[in-house]
Amino acid sequence: MMAKTYSQYVCQQCGRRSARQMGRCPGCGEWNTLVEEIIERKPSAATHITRSGGHRSTPRRLSEISNEAEERIPVPIEEFARVLGGGIVPGSVVLIGGDPGIGKSTLLLQTTLAMAERGPVLYVSGEESERQIKMRATRVSFPVASSKTAKTEGTEAHTGKFPENLYLVTETSLDVILEHIENIKPDLIVIDSVQTTYLPELESSAGSVSQVRETASRLRELAKTTGVTVFLIGHVTKEGTIAGPRVLEHIVDAVLYLEGDRFQTYRLLRTVKNRYGATSEVGVFEMRERGLVEITNPSEAFLAERMVNAPGSAIAVTMEGTRPLLVEIQGLTSPTNFGNPRRTPNGIDFNRLLLISAVLTRRVGVRLAEQDVFVNVIGGLKINEPAADLAVATAIASSIKDAPVRADTVLIGEVGLSGELRMVGQMPARLREAEKLGFKQAIVPRRLSKGEPWPKGISVIEVRSLREALKAALIEE
């Protein structure tokens, strides 16, 4: 049969197709995202790819379906397993996104090195040569899945022996990749990256929405019919989204993001979507010479370089998913030289900093009108929740007053426009984490109604306003 070719305009954001060019996508409302793509479909190009012949579905009675939890393949990297919801669900497709150079390939190489002890694993790279990957593999450490001691020792340096079952290939054509899968019959496949993989029968270029969607769909079909698990690596575009984000996020079972500051060593692996577990879980790693290393006690790590009794430093307790994290927040004020005072946040939202600065000026009388204000969250962490407001405000006030914050104190609470403090969620978990790390005192918003008693080991000071909180937190002469 003849191949049919036609051209369409495809939104590179949401995948909406249109017969004509438009300035604005009617699907997602983004501007200038429609790109012409030549779409050619050979009718013979079968969409059914199965490992062992066809697979037919059969409806079953709900009562007959086993209600045991999904069987999971353990992942020897605990911080990774946590984010996946406890382990790998066979037949699932997991997308791992992140900026270029953040460590996606490293993480998955370490994971496959560790997982190949269990069964065949295929690592497909469209970006690096087999030798480059081998060189990286010699450098990184990986937990040895079969070794019981690995759990306690964290990661083991690699011993010069590679698992026999780990296969590498540099390939970008999905058709060829599927052939390799047919031959090797892996339990686990890594596609590095979804943007470099293409289907020859589609004419649009690799990385376009059509290609990305088609690649992901075919791999999903393969996963669902054969039970193989697929990890897709995806680069995030400048705008902070994976190319064709909505398209991809619907196709896969889980979406994880690896993030962090490129110039700092901590990396956070976050769940954005997970059909088989909780979202907003987070795993913490550090990029070292031997690859990514798990940080099982991140609070401790984030506070390690803290200078006690230095003005301009305050400790916040933020929640990353279900996990409380203590982080140091630094503030610095410096007289504005000319023009408008600058507000420079690193790790918190710019508008949040504007708001907090305004509240400090107007409600507390801390004069910031002629001051540049810098705020830095240590460890390269990005804080999105208002629970850190109080620590941010305190760090700034501490800097301008040149008065240190009490060293044994954490600050938790949202700052309101009237200078009042507002309660935040999951307070007991936050307080317990602070207590665990040896903090003696927590300054928190006043409770309106008596809830369960505060944890015993830490003294909790309830305050109504930012002004009161500063009085309690700062050591002023």
Binding mask 107-136 for ligand TYD (x = CB under 6 A): -----------------------------x
Shortest approach of Mg ion to residue 231 CB, angstroms? Answer: 12
Strand 282-288 vs strand 343-346: parallel, antiparallel, or unpaired?
unpaired
Taking CB under 6 A as the rule, does residue 139 contact ligand TYD? yes
Taking CB under 5 A as the rule, does residue 229 contact Mg ion? no
Element (H, E) at 314: strand 313-320
Burial of 52 (0-12, 13-18, 19+ CB in 10 A): exposed
C-alpha 33 chain-centroid distance: 25
Shortest approach of ligand TYD to residue 137 CB, angstroms? Answer: 9
- φ, ψ for residue 364, nearest 5 deg: -110, -15
Taking CB under 5 A as the rule, does residue 125 contact Mg ion? no
Applying CB under 6 A, the site for ligand TYD has a residue count of: 15
Of these, 29, 101, 200, 240, which contacts ligand TYD (CB under 6 A)? 101
Q: At CA 17, angle to CA 12 and CA 19, rounded to 5? A: 125
Using the minimum distance from each CB to ligand TYD, give the nearer residue, 252 or 348.
252
Using the minimum distance from each CB to ligand TYD, give the nearer residue, 104 or 352.
104
Strand 229-235 vs strand 254-259: parallel, antiparallel, or unpaired?
unpaired
C-alpha 250 chain-centroid distance: 18
Taking CB under 6 A as the rule, does residue 102 contact ligand TYD? yes
As beta bridge partners, residue 286 has: 266, 293
- Residue 258 CB contacts under 8 Å (≥ 6 apart), including other chains: 96, 97, 98, 102, 103, 104, 107, 267, 268, 269, 270
Of 104-112, 293-301, 431-439, 446-454, which part binds Mg ion (CB under 5 A)? 104-112
Of these, 105, 226, 271, 318, which contacts Mg ion (CB under 5 A)? 105
Residue that the structure tokens 């929405």 belong to: 209
Q: Indicate which of Mg ion, ligand TYD, none lies near residue 474 (CB less than 5 to 8 Å, by partner kind).
A: none
Shortest approach of ligand TYD to residue 259 CB, angstroms? Answer: 10
Shortest approach of Mg ion to residue 103 CB, angstroms? Answer: 8
Applying CB under 5 A, the site for Mg ion has a residue count of: 1
Instruction: Answer whether 312's CB lies under 8 Å from 399's CB.
Output: yes
What residue spans of 72-118 are helical by DSSP H? 78-84, 104-115
As beta bridge partners, residue 168 has: 123
Q: Indicate which of ligand TYD, Mg ion, none lies near residue 287 (CB less than 5 to 8 Å, by partner kind).
A: ligand TYD
Q: Indicate which of ligand TYD, Mg ion, none lies near residue 317 (CB less than 5 to 8 Å, by partner kind).
A: none
Q: Indicate which of ligand TYD, Mg ion, none lies near residue 136 (CB less than 5 to 8 Å, by partner kind).
A: ligand TYD
Using the minimum distance from each CB to Mg ion, give the nearer residue, 105 or 112.
105
**Cβ neighbours around 269 below 10 Å, total:** 26
Using the minimum distance from each CB to Mg ion, give the nearer residue, 133 or 327.
133
Q: Indicate which of Mg ion, ligand TYD, none lies near residue 103 (CB less than 5 to 8 Å, by partner kind).
A: ligand TYD
Of these, 17, 41, 290, 382, which contacts ligand TYD (CB under 6 A)? 290
Which amino acid does the sequence have at 48?
A: H
Taking CB under 5 A as the rule, does residue 112 contact Mg ion? no
Taking CB under 6 A as the rule, does residue 196 contact ligand TYD? no
Taking CB under 5 A as the rule, does residue 172 contact Mg ion? no
Residue that the structure tokens 């944890």 belong to: 455
Residue that the structure tokens 């490293």 belong to: 106
Shortest approach of ligand TYD to residue 99 CB, angstroms? Answer: 7
Of 45-53, 224-232, 284-292, 319-327, which part binds ligand TYD (CB under 6 A)? 284-292
Of these, 12, 13, 106, 125, which contacts ligand TYD (CB under 6 A)? 106
Of 26-34, 99-107, 253-261, 390-398, which part binds Mg ion (CB under 5 A)? 99-107
Using the minimum distance from each CB to ligand TYD, give the nearer residue, 137 or 442.
137
Here the tokens at position 113 are 């090195």
User: What does the alpha-carbon distance between residue 133 and residue 108 come to, in Å, rounded to a whole number?
Assistant: 11
User: What does the alpha-carbon distance between residue 290 and residue 136 come to, in Å, rounded to a whole number?
Assistant: 9
Using the minimum distance from each CB to Mg ion, give the nearer residue, 87 or 103.
103
Shortest approach of Mg ion to residue 102 CB, angstroms? Answer: 9
DSSP E strand stretches across 57-134: 93-98, 121-125
User: What does the alpha-carbon distance between residue 463 and residue 149 come to, in Å, rounded to a whole number?
Assistant: 47
Report the residue number whose CB is nearest to Mg ion. Answer: 105
Instruction: Identify the CA nearest to 475 among candidates 379, 404, 381, 417.
Output: 404
Shortest approach of ligand TYD to residue 265 CB, angstroms? Answer: 8
**Cβ neighbours around 86 below 10 Å, total:** 17
The CA dihedral of 179, 183, 187, 191, to the nearest 10 degrees, is -30
421 phi-psi bin (left φ>0, alpha ψ -120 to 50, beta other): beta
Instruction: Identify the CA nearest to 412 among candidates 443, 434, 457.
Output: 443
Of these, 100, 119, 240, 428, which contacts ligand TYD (CB under 6 A)? 100
Shortest approach of ligand TYD to residue 130 CB, angstroms? Answer: 15
Binding site for ligand TYD (CB under 6 A): 98, 100-106, 136, 139-140, 287, 289-291
Binding site for Mg ion (CB under 5 A): 105
